[in-house]
């Protein structure tokens, strides 16, 4: 006699799972690796669906006191990453943006991370 009651419960469960996956699909999770000659740190964040790397970094900075960055606005190419965790680019170094080992061919304001991508911010010599 108890079996028919299981059906609505199972339907409710399925509905819940469907709702949760729909809600989480509004995010594109990705990792950020910060690499300097002396440090290698990894963080998790997310962009909006088809949202920019810049948005994901802002979100990471707001959520994690151990990550911060500054940038210089550029009329042509958007934000130029200037400083990460207190280490600034200078006349011989810049913060290079990579996906895995491949340098990005656009800046962080234009780049749209893929789900589970690993983006590296690498302190690089010119």
**Residue that the structure tokens 């011989």 belong to:** 92
Question: What does the CA dihedral 42, 56, 102, 37 come to, rounded to 10 degrees?
Answer: -40
85 binding ligand B12? (CB under 6 A): no
118 binding ligand B12? (CB under 6 A): no
The distance of closest approach from Cβ of residue 31 to ligand B12 in the complex, given in angstroms and rounded to an integer, is 17
The distance of closest approach from Cβ of residue 103 to ligand B12 in the complex, given in angstroms and rounded to an integer, is 4
Q: 5-40: b or e for each residue (b if 16 or more CB lie within 10 Å)? A: eeeeeeeeeeeeeeeeeeeeeebbebebebbbeeee
The residue within the footprint of ligand B12, chosen from 48, 49, 106, 115 (CB under 6 A), is 106
16 binding ligand B12? (CB under 6 A): no
Nearer to ligand B12, 27 or 68 (CB): 68
């Amino acid at each position: 006699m108890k079996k028919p009651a299981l059906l609505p419960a199972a339907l409710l469960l399925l509905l819940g799972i469907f709702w949760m996956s729909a809600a989480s699909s509004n995010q594109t999770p990705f990792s950020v690796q910060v690499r300097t000659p002396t440090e290698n740190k990894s963080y998790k964040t997310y962009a909006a669906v088809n949202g920019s790397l810049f948005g994901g970094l802002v979100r990471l900075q707001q959520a994690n006191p151990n990550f911060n960055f500054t940038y210089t606005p550029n009329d042509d190419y958007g934000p130029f990453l200037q400083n990460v965790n207190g280490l600034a680019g200078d006349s011989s170094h810049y913060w290079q943006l990579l996906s895995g080992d491949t340098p990005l061919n656009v800046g962080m304001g234009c780049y749209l991370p893929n789900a589970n991508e690993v983006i590296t911010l690498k302190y690089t010599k010119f």
